[in-house]
Structure 1
Amino acid sequence: MAQRIDFHFNVTNRLLYACRVVRKARANNLTLAVWTKDRHKLDFFVRQLWSFEPTGFYPHVAADDELAAETPIVYHTDETLLPARDVLILLDDEVPDNWSVLFGRFGRVIDIVGTSEAERQPARERFKIYRSAGMAPVAHDQGGH
């Protein structure tokens, strides 16, 4: 089970915020995995990762790519393909299938939640699910960042 689950909520742009999390994690030499079931959202995240910082480069590949084992950032819509990493970033409104096993591969899970009620309500449900399983998720209000 993940050592820590953090909910970063009131995030204006989830995908751009995820890129900022990547930047901070990589500055600390951490490896990451990114998951959502939504292929369109994941593709947009990957495009943002290329362009959100003009001088930055963050090596990333799909989790089923032959270079995934040696690439610090992996992503996929199939959570079963995500290899162990320091951090898992969740960009989905649903709890991943078999989440308790999945989370065991990561030291930390960061669940990014937008500002709309359509994103906040499912996040509340995820928070309750994790808490009822004996985890202690921590909420971080990003105040619209």
Structure 2
Amino acid sequence: MTRIDFYILPEPTQANGDTVNTVCRLCEKAAASGARVYLRVPQSELAEQIDGALWSYKEGGFLSHEIDTGKPSADPQPLILIGNGEPPPTHHGILFNLGADVPTYFSRFERVLEIVPATVADRSSSRERYKFYRDRGYELKTHNL
């Protein structure tokens, strides 16, 4: 059964900065374990920020990733894909859900990481997602950052 982790961010210090940094840090851990990661990011501006940050996250290196276009890639796909559509069958290890709803395909993943920003509206939609998973019997963990 899919394990669900909620990562609750502290009060924001900059717009989207805490979310982007947290995503990069967690992606680094996931990639180090060899897991295939799909970042579900419905907001194109945030997706672009994360894309840029993954290129420069580590000094002297980057986290291998690309934006998923929904079309099959001829090259081997990197461990981390950023998208908003249906994830490819190669990436069902870890799902980062940065959307306000629960994607229909979440149960295909071994783990789902829910990033919870500090704004009232984001916390409210996160509570709804938490209830959704809890009411269906999923294992839930909460991490206050």
Give TM class, smaller chain. 0.7 to 0.9
Where structure 2 has 5 or more consecutive residues not aligned to the other structure, the ranges are: 13-17
Is 1:105–2:108 an aligned residue pair? Answer: yes
Q: CA RMSD in A?
A: 1.9
Mapping 1:1-145, distance limit 5 Å = 1-2=1-2, 4-11=3-10, 12=12, 13-63=18-68, 64=70, 66-67=73-74, 70-78=77-85, 80-83=86-89, 84-96=91-103, 98=104, 102-142=105-145
SS of the equivalent of 2:9 reads strand
Deviations 1:57-108 (A, max 9, x none): 2111223351575321111111x13433321111122222x2xxx1232111
Instruction: Report the structure, 1 or 2, having the larger helix content.
Output: 1
User: Would you say how many aligned residue pairs link Structure 1 and Structure 2?
Assistant: 136
The two structures have a TM-score, normalised by structure 1, of: 0.83
Sequence identity, in percent?
A: 29
Q: Determine the C-alpha separation between the residues in 1 that align with 2:35 and 2:139.
A: 22
In the alignment, the residues of structure 1 paired with residue 8 and residue 110 of structure 2 have an alpha-carbon distance, to the nearest angstrom, of 20
CA contact (8 A) 1:9 1:139 kept: yes
State the TM-score, normalized to the length of structure 2.
0.83
Distance 1:81 1:30 in 2: 14
